[in-house]
Amino acid sequence: MRGLVRQGALTPEDKALLLGLELETRRVSASEVLWYEDTDADLFCVLKEGWAYSYRHLENGSKQILKLYLPGDIIGLRDFGFSRRLAGVAMINEGVVCPFSYQQLLELFGRSALAVGLMATAVRQQALLTERLVYLGRHDAQERLAHFLYELYLRLKRIGAVEDNSFLMPLSQEQIGDALGLSPVHVSRTFSMLRDDGLVTRDRQQITLPDPEALAQLVEFDDNYINESLPTDLSVLSIASLAVDNRKEPGVHSTVDK
């Protein structure tokens, strides 16, 4: 940071913005909750003293800590681009924080909707990661697989790749295991359980979810982290796609591996 300042990397705009911030620090006590899961996301903080953590409470009564924040860390970038908090944050010991509003962050990105969108996209990917972390930490094989399939179902539906609650899934069970932290053998067993419960049917790579809602309930899926369309729901990709679709060309193959 001093780095940044020294390097003179800050533009006049940056400097103006920084000076314009009304900075205020707040002393917070041990165990104090900075914000709860699912509340309005409006600000983030720099943690100046003390330790904090972000967490998710699960319906089965357990909780998963997602990230520890140490002095100097920024808390709350995770929720940028979402309207509600994906996780709560609480102090561990007493400390000091310095809050900023997302509004200020937006001004920082200033004129570029693309930059905002990219940031939001990155944050969104982080949300998916986070969700998987929760499942690896606190759920058994059946819940992990159910969650995995349901997430896939939602993401594919979003891009129109689901028909009749059914979609193609080109992953081997070994790869699924590598994603969920399970052995391929157990993935197979788990598929059988889900089939026996009538939640998933499968023929080769064709997956069908006879009753997606039932699955959703099993995995307490909060789909707003996938479906929420934020103000700037861009996806540069699509822009890129548009621009490109005109002049197609078969490309170059490079490496392969197995």
11-30 residues near a copy of itself, rule: CB under 8 A: 11, 13-14, 17-19, 21, 23-30
- Integer distance in angstroms from the first to the last C-alpha of the chain? 43
Residue pair 108/17 in contact (Cβ under 8 Å)? The answer is: yes
Nearer to a copy of itself, 19 or 196 (CB): 19
Size of the site for a copy of itself (CB under 8 A): 118
Q: Helical H runs in 24-172? A: 102-109, 113-138, 141-158
Q: What are phi and psi of 110, to 5 degrees?
A: 55, -120
From 14-22, 112-120, 126-134, 173-181, give the range in contact with DNA by CB under 7 A: 173-181
The option from a copy of itself, DNA, none interacting with 226 (CB < 5 to 8 A, set by class) reads none
The option from DNA, a copy of itself, none interacting with 11 (CB < 5 to 8 A, set by class) reads a copy of itself
> Cα Rg for the chain, rounded, in angstroms?
22
Per CB under 8 A, the list member of 59, 196, 203, 249 interacting with a copy of itself is 249
The distance of closest approach from Cβ of residue 171 to a copy of itself in the complex, given in angstroms and rounded to an integer, is: 6
Per CB under 7 A, the list member of 17, 48, 65, 142 interacting with DNA is 142
| Cα–Cα distance, 175 to 181 (Å, whole number) | 10
Q: Is 62 in the site for a copy of itself (CB under 8 A)?
A: yes
| Cα–Cα distance, 256 to 146 (Å, whole number) | 31
From 48-56, 194-202, 206-214, 216-224, give the range in contact with a copy of itself by CB under 8 A: 48-56
CA 86 to chain centre: 8
Structure tokens at 84: 């509600």
